Structure 1
């Protein structure tokens, strides 16, 4: 029987293959395949030669740019050297057309002209501004120009480029390329100051007419080289073409048999699928419904302790499907309260009336394989009961609600963050406004007090009283500055700051803040640490924290530690520790100030950074809020840890500049 079936299939396959050979036109196949191949080949050649031209152009342009860069360096060197070829006070004296005599001007002109010829510069000259116009003061001239005039000193430069005027105005070096009837030039305008502070421009011109010709030659040379290398690949292309034709012919033969074999296999497979379809459709519908609702099956046989858990929950817990088949293994991942619930559920003796099913719902916290936790909601009913109504089997569904729980927690946290941020923002605006107006009044008082002291005799009996007013005004101005720091009103001047060197320079002044009964220990990492910040406000923040630690210790013996290191702060840490603007994960400098004072309770810690809140009799409640404001301005954070009787620690986190942790050896090199 099997042999007859094999013969039947073989004969059918042979007939199908024969019919395919009959209806298949090899000529037609080549006709359909060849034309698109040629079109593709032409397109490839177009792209290739276009890329060849672009590459050659950019390579030549790169050489051109390199040559211009080298010329700029020479121009800068020549313009910088020009000041040393002139008397030191030359531009302090060159203030009018008749300020420099002809003899000195001729001597300087010949000296600069000789330097220009030997250095292959077209022109070297200096420019000054007088009566809103620019004039030559020390120029080089050609032999023809030297015959035109006896002196070129203070000759007006009516066609001065706008970029030279901009260099004079901004004090920045400017380069320009321009063309005129004498050729094409590359020029520099270098702003300098005379010993008396008079601004002038030191300029140099270099003729670059030859660069365009050099650019074209370089482009053609690159293009010719690439084209020559392309010609060397022609024999390989012919060989590839022959191999491709042979492979194409073999592929045609294989394709003819493959199509008919696929049709035959498809018919047999379709009949098998039709038979299996009715057996799987019900399970697929159930799986689809559970998957759409993101639910998993939960089937617990209480009598045997076996458990069937759906694939979604198994995957959520990091388990292989069907790898957890015992309820005791499942509950061992739960917390104690949830374990007790399921144990009581299995031992319940409450009788359930016939036709009813006890229903339960429970959200549990379950440990997964990677050490984390997932929140799972279980909903089910008692499917089988014994004679007294105790459950024998519980079946239901389980849903992973971790994202919902986390979203709810995140929403509550964001609400607290918004409330906290608005509260601090309103306090900051109020403090900043008060500090600004108050500081203006103090400046008026201070100005008048200084006038009084200036006009008052040294032996006046009122001088000490007026000086007392001045000292009190300065203290009030310091308080106003603390309020401005809290509000985020910081001085300009953020720059690259070496935090390690800054702290080393502060150690001496910090020790002066500590009384003799308080020890002080400093630990700094050996690597250099760089950040973009304001060194004055950073110093203020650290001093405020040291003063706060000293006041906390009081008259008792104690110790304060100052530590600095770097660490990586991830998004989770920054989000957990800081309730204000979103901070970027990355490397941070960590500065911690730790004392062994009495510490403080949690209620005091919650209000620690509020302005004017203080627990000390002489305190003003502005030191720690100023620290908070400084850290907000630096896009950093401050973290406080303390408990009553266990001291306190304040940790400042400053974001480091990119690639800023540099070893000491690298910096020295």
Structure 2
């Protein structure tokens, strides 16, 4: 018994007794043996009894199954990863379907609040309430965008964005979810330059890093610090250990915590998909791989320092942008009124058709609204030169927006056509461009920026 692992002593003893007393052959059993150097080896053992002059003799065969165990573990890990991937794909599909209907609702709210704000003076008692409604719908819109970005059904849309308001939004969102015993501080210098980025994806990066930070605090007490610094290209390259290039300056976002920290062995695997140190059911192992992928696509870099018991610091380096942040309000003021140009709007949602007609008529355009795609195509066929622009929804019963665009462009090839949708997918954008569609725009941005969209496409700008 000296080579049998102690945890198997009783099992082996009972099996030997059964084999010797009953003179039977039992099926092979998996157990552990001890090598002479004390290391453990997994084996499959088969004992065959033989009658001899001295009594029962056993022929024992032990086969090393270490490689089989490793292969089984790898297969189980791959199967678990596949199941997780399938779950995420299902979530993405579900999110895409919900987003269309949800954004239709948001579009109606956004558009009507916009009309209300135009009707009310700031002195009106209801003006502040309408502003709050509009602000809430914008947050809901951004939430849908983040969901679609995670499910990879939303195209990345980059613009010059200031970090301070984005980090403040992350701070507010985290404050509502993290334990009260965790202190969350933010430091963004007022002279921090903008970054050319997708705000939704950078929001996701910060949310993932901060969520990991507070989950590394088992007692639900501690401190998370988000701080921003601006570095030259040379300094950013030296600090990140990455050959950064393409920008004269980089913005470094540091997320520091005083949690449990990580060992050097763990740090080697943190960006591997499905790798996690959390308990089963507590994490997918996709948070940091997603962060790493987003930073890479933004031509940035990510670095980490950590020691067990001393906390962790993540450093995200993103190219600074010389352009000022995009201002929606100033852009709106710059929009010129229409001069009775005729727009055809096609959507199967009656509230949106009514809203778009009112919005465009206020902006100086004539607008014909139509919910039936076949009837809309026939209207254009009867008078192809009477319309200056067509805006059509993508997802409609009977015919999609792509089908409608194809028919309309066969009638009049130079007719400007714009497609709106609850979620913008890369395949839809590619198909629309192949057809000659001018633009594919996300709802409810369509309503909020309707006058700009019409003006841009009527003047031939893309």
Q: Normalising by structure 2, what TM-score?
A: 0.39
Q: Normalising by structure 1, what TM-score?
A: 0.29
Query: Where is the helix percentage greater, Structure 1 or Structure 2?
Result: 1
Whose RCO is larger (CA < 8 A, sep 6+)?
Answer: 2
Choose 1 or 2 for highest CA Rg.
1
